[in-house]
Chains A and B, each alone.
Chain A
Amino acid sequence: MGMYGRVLLSALGRRAMIVILLAIIVAFALLSDRFATLSNAQTILQGASALSLLAIGQTLVVLSGGIDLSVGSLVALSGVIASLVVQGNPDMLLPAVLAGVGVGLFAGLVSGLLVAVAGVPPFIVTLGMLTSASGLAYVFSNGSPISGLPENFLAISSGSVFGVQIPIIIMVIAFAAFLILLTRTAYGMRLYAVGGNPTASRIAGVRVPVIYVSAYAASGALAGLAGVILASRVTAGIPTTGAGYELDSIAAVVVGGASLLGGRGTLRGTALGLFLIQTLNNGFDILNVTSYVQKIVKGALIVVAVFVDVHANRRRS
């Protein structure tokens, strides 16, 4: 890297990601007059909403020093379960939502206990959960979509309050709530501490297993909620929904500057990472760039973003 590059990067510092996001927005706005519109902004937000819940959960797990590969499958499993409960029975709306979130929460608790108590590495535990939950989704759905979902269930994704779609509201509330949790509560401080150094945290009196279990449980429950929203959006519980979302959520977290070693990262970073990826997807769609090319760019973006972050922040460490 040349002199100017280094100076530029260190001047950008923490702002690097937001500058890149703004640059991308300006570029797309110049390339297409359909990009910078209010309805397209809603499209981007709506598209990001389900994934944002996964990314929030992933942020908690990554901060704790782990990784959650199971969230994509949990989306499918939760969508299938919620659809089975509510199929042809509008009165079952609330039980369906609770069942969807509950199944995610339960799976997260299982993963968390295996990590915290049994001591199995998070990658292995959640890889196992990814596979098993996907299998369960196929078993419950018999391998085919569960459709015929009532209007009130579909309204979860299509309805709006004061002109804002419900999933967007859920996303905003979730971001705000978890932002407060991570930055303003004792729990948040403990989570960072455990991810930064579990041994020192234990000696300082933190109940380390509780922190681990809670992170995976939260990630699972959020994946369950995302599964409900997605089943509502695609109007069916489909066992393939959410496949690959685990990697998208990890991408958002690492593009947002978190360390996969734990203890470092912010929810603000995750949000920026998520919107960077979503904005690129949307802009390319508008410009009719094929999804194959989009994937190439997205892959490169992940590496470049982390490269920029590493170099922009190097001076501080």
Chain B
Amino acid sequence: MADARVPALSCSGLAKSFGGVRVLEDVSFDFEPGTVNILAGENGAGKSTLLKIISGQERPEAGSVSIFGNTVTHFDPRHTRGLGVGIVPQELAPVLDRPVYENLFLGREIRGRSHLLNHGEMVRRAHEMLEVFELDIDPRVPMRYLSVASMQLVEIVKTTTSGARVLLLDEPTSAIPEREVEVLFGVISKLKAQGVAVVYTTHRMAEIEGIGDRVVVLRDGRLVLDRAVRELTEADIVRAMIGRSLGLLFPAKALVDSDTQPVLEVRDLRVETRPAVDLTVRPGEIVGLGGLVGAGRSELLEGIFGVRPSVGQVELGGRRVPRGDPSAAIALGVCFVPEDRKRAGLILSLPVLDNGAIPNLRRFTGPFGWFRRRLAEKVVGEAAEMTQLKSRGLSQLVETLSGGNQQKVVLAKWLTRDVSVLLLDEPTRGVDIGARSEIYRVIAGLARRGVAVLLVSSDLEELLGLSHRVLVMRRGEVMGELGPDEVSSPEAQERVLRFATGMVDTALAW
């Protein structure tokens, strides 16, 4: 174990610019061995660049990095790896069709005397490695059968067992369900005990308090906060990240008249083989769907919209929405913002204009199927403006936009038409706080115009902060409901969790 007085990771005076824009300016900090250090900041604050410099993928213009007292001389991943830096990127790239143990030993395979691979030994050692972290993963199954969370844990095990003493985790929880976060935290605690210095980037406040010893906040490339987590409140951290206080994050909820007839009525709807669900949403009402990942919330939205098979009744202002036909649902005014914008929400290879125009092509189609470009430009341009989309124009390819702006395009494309029901699945996943408050304003604004909103969110603050009512689901069933008064009560979070986990009497440490 290294001398406790030598920092595991020490950065001093780091600076970097891209194309004349300063992305890091005089960043200095020391991280001790055996600590978890949160690197926080909005998208574009410089977190990724900082991680790239520490892991040797980028060279700083000024300043230096040292690992356990050894100064990095070449900013090259092989050199920094040799000094003990390991990085688990946000987007993993495992070899999906090969077993877990081969992934663990890729590049450092165990060979027998004949120089042929010793599979038995690799499986045995892989077992040991996973056991140390109390992970219930069979090293012989192909990577493909693992959840994203498990793949990430395998990657962490791989990195630390190949000698990483400074472990960089880039938004490790952005793609994994809440209940598996616990397992990740367990692994991180074990690494701490082994004296590894963990650097952890995240957007989620709960994680900073749950796992962090220390938090370093970057804003516009400068270090604006560097303190022990226990000395700070959530509000302190948010204020440091966005440079103002968060009071206005959630717009005020407009009143919904409880006498109004519901516009969306779901009766006895069974999505695939799940239990039947009934729910209603009034015009102007935002109804939240709470629950753990896997509770069937996304599946319910997909069933209502028609991209997932379902039986039962969905009515829109008294008109029946046919099952399994998204284009019919769209024609009736239903729209859907899916959870995974890159996979299902956007056509990355096309410009903003095309993405915005596609849900509404009938309106932009003239005689002989002619595409009415001018009209589309006007309508999509207005929608983009409503969401405060920051782009170089409507012809910019969506793949070159930031995550928050991509999500605004997903919203904007539904603003080009008359919408009566908006189905939102995790609308702010991976979106930074600044863009999030803009997205919240758009959602609240639509509700105020009379749109009925059904919102799935795993972020409890978001769920309770936006919704008029919250339905909590577990194993495909609605287990409970929080009414308008209950949503804003101090016990709201706890009640959602009790319904979600089914633990009615057990105290929850969350």
Q: Given A203-B336, A203-B345, A205-B330, A263–B350 Cβ distance below 8 Å?
A: yes
Segment among B98-106, B113-121, B356-364, B493-501 that sits at the interface with chain A: B356-364
- B328-345 with Cβ < 8 A to chain A: 330-331, 336, 338, 343-345
Say whether A204 contacts B349, CB under 8 Å: no
Bound: A52/B346 CA distance, A: 32
Say whether B399 contacts A201, CB under 8 Å: no
Query: Contact check: which of B326, B349, B362, B365 meets A264 at CB < 8 Å?
Result: B349
CB of B176, distance to nearest CB on chain A (Å): 21
Q: Given A185-B370, A189-B358, A202–B346 Cβ distance below 8 Å?
A: no
Q: Mark B366-407, 1 if CB is under 8 A from A, else 0.
A: 001111000000000000000000000000010110000000
A286 at the interface (CB under 8 A from B): no
B479 at the interface (CB under 8 A from A): no
Q: Which residues of A contact B397 (CB under 8 A)?
A: 317
CB of B491, distance to nearest CB on chain A (Å): 37
B130 at the interface (CB under 8 A from A): no
Q: Mark A207-219, 1 if CB is under 8 A from B, else 0.
A: 1000000000000
Say whether A189 contacts B348, CB under 8 Å: no
CB of A313, distance to nearest CB on chain B (Å): 12
Bound: A158/B126 CA distance, A: 72
A187 at the interface (CB under 8 A from B): yes
Q: In chain A, what residue has the closest Cβ to B328?
A: A205
Q: Which residues of A contact B357 (CB under 8 A)?
A: 189
Say whether A184 contacts B358, CB under 8 Å: no
A193 at the interface (CB under 8 A from B): yes
B413 at the interface (CB under 8 A from A): yes
B305 at the interface (CB under 8 A from A): yes
Q: Mark B445-470, 1 if CB is under 8 A from A, else 0.
A: 00000000000000000000000000
Bound: A259/B347 CA distance, A: 15
Query: Contact check: which of A185, A197, A317 meets B347 at CB < 8 Å?
Result: A197
Bound: A188/B336 CA distance, A: 23
Q: Which residues of A contact B370 (CB under 8 A)?
A: 184-186
Say whether B359 contacts A205, CB under 8 Å: yes
Bound: A204/B355 CA distance, A: 9
CB of B264, distance to nearest CB on chain A (Å): 18
Say whether A193 contacts B307, CB under 8 Å: no
Bound: A207/B400 CA distance, A: 27
Q: Which of the listed residues A200, A202, A264 has the most CB atoms from chain B within 10 Å of its own CB?
A: A200
Query: Contact check: which of B326, B369, B399 meets A205 at CB < 8 Å?
Result: B326
Q: Which residues of B contact A188 (CB under 8 A)?
A: 371
Q: Which residues of A contact B57 (CB under 8 A)?
A: none
CB of A154, distance to nearest CB on chain B (Å): 35
Say whether A203 contacts B305, CB under 8 Å: yes
Q: Which residues of B contact A201 (CB under 8 A)?
A: 347, 358
Query: Contact check: which of A185, A186, A193, A203 meets B338 at CB < 8 Å?
Result: A203
Say whether B326 contacts A202, CB under 8 Å: yes
Q: Given A192-B354, A193-B354, A263-B349, A203–B369 Cβ distance below 8 Å?
A: no
Bound: A59/B83 CA distance, A: 51
CB of B193, distance to nearest CB on chain A (Å): 43
Q: Given A184-B371, A189-B354, A204-B413, A199–B344 Cβ distance below 8 Å?
A: yes
Q: How large is the interface on B (under 10, 10 to 19, 20 to 34, 35 or more residues)?
A: 20 to 34
Q: Which residues of B contact A187 (CB under 8 A)?
A: 369
Say whether B359 contacts A186, CB under 8 Å: no
Say whether A206 contacts B354, CB under 8 Å: no
Say whether A200 contacts B346, CB under 8 Å: yes
Say whether B369 contacts A200, CB under 8 Å: no
A196 at the interface (CB under 8 A from B): yes
B327 at the interface (CB under 8 A from A): yes
Q: Mark A259-292, 1 if CB is under 8 A from B, else 0.
A: 0000110000000000000000000000000000
Q: Which residues of A contact B399 (CB under 8 A)?
A: 317
Query: Contact check: which of B330, B345, B371, B400 meets A189 at CB < 8 Å?
Result: B371
Bound: A258/B331 CA distance, A: 33
CB of B376, distance to nearest CB on chain A (Å): 9
Say whether A189 contacts B361, CB under 8 Å: yes
Q: Which of the listed residues A184, A186, A201 has the most CB atoms from chain B within 10 Å of its own CB?
A: A186
Say whether A186 contacts B345, CB under 8 Å: no
CB of B258, distance to nearest CB on chain A (Å): 32
Query: Contact check: which of A184, A190, A199 meets B343 at CB < 8 Å?
Result: A199
Say whether B347 contacts A196, CB under 8 Å: yes
Q: Mark A170-202, 1 if CB is under 8 A from B, else 0.
A: 000000000000001111111011001101111
Say whether B343 contacts A200, CB under 8 Å: yes
Bound: A200/B340 CA distance, A: 10
Q: Mark B46-63, 1 if CB is under 8 A from A, else 0.
A: 000000000000000000
Q: In chain A, what residue has the closest Cβ to B305?
A: A203
Q: Given A190-B361, A263-B350, A200–B371 Cβ distance below 8 Å?
A: no
Say whether B354 contacts A202, CB under 8 Å: no
CB of A28, distance to nearest CB on chain B (Å): 36
Query: Contact check: which of A186, A193, A202, A204 meets B371 at CB < 8 Å?
Result: A186
Bound: A197/B338 CA distance, A: 13
Q: Which residues of B contact A193 (CB under 8 A)?
A: 347, 350, 354, 358
Bound: A187/B370 CA distance, A: 9
Q: Mark A301-317, 1 if CB is under 8 A from B, else 0.
A: 00000000000000001
Q: Given A189-B354, A205-B327, A206-B327, A200–B359 Cβ distance below 8 Å?
A: no
Bound: A203/B413 CA distance, A: 11
- B415-443 with Cβ < 8 A to chain A: none
Say whether B369 contacts A186, CB under 8 Å: yes
CB of A109, distance to nearest CB on chain B (Å): 20
Q: Which residues of B contact A264 (CB under 8 A)?
A: 349
Q: Given A202-B307, A207-B327, A196–B349 Cβ distance below 8 Å?
A: yes
Q: Given A189-B354, A192-B354, A203-B326, A197–B369 Cβ distance below 8 Å?
A: no
Q: Which residues of B contact A196 (CB under 8 A)?
A: 347-350
CB of B369, distance to nearest CB on chain A (Å): 4
Bound: A186/B354 CA distance, A: 10
Q: Which residues of B contact A207 (CB under 8 A)?
A: 327
Bound: A13/B343 CA distance, A: 29
Say whether B348 contacts A206, CB under 8 Å: no
Say whether B350 contacts A192, CB under 8 Å: yes
Q: Given A202-B307, A204-B413, A190–B348 Cβ distance below 8 Å?
A: no
CB of A191, distance to nearest CB on chain B (Å): 11
CB of B70, distance to nearest CB on chain A (Å): 33
Say whether B365 contacts A186, CB under 8 Å: yes
Say whether B354 contacts A185, CB under 8 Å: no
Given contacts A186-B369, A192-B347, A197-B344, 18 further A-B contacts (CB under 8 A): A184-B370, A185-B371, A186-B365, A189-B371, A190-B358, A193-B347, A196-B348, A199-B343, A200-B345, A201-B347, A203-B307, A203-B338, A204-B358, A205-B358, A206-B358, A206-B361, A263-B349, A263-B350
| Interface set of A (CB-CB < 8 Å, partner B) | 184-190, 192-193, 196-197, 199-207, 263-264, 317
Question: What are some 22 contacts across the A-B interface (CB < 8 A)?
Answer: A185-B365, A185-B369, A186-B361, A186-B364, A186-B369, A186-B371, A188-B371, A192-B347, A192-B349, A192-B350, A193-B350, A196-B349, A199-B343, A199-B344, A200-B344, A205-B327, A205-B331, A205-B359, A206-B327, A263-B349, A264-B349, A317-B399
Closest 5 CB pairs of A and B: A196-B347, A205-B330, A205-B327, A196-B349, A185-B369
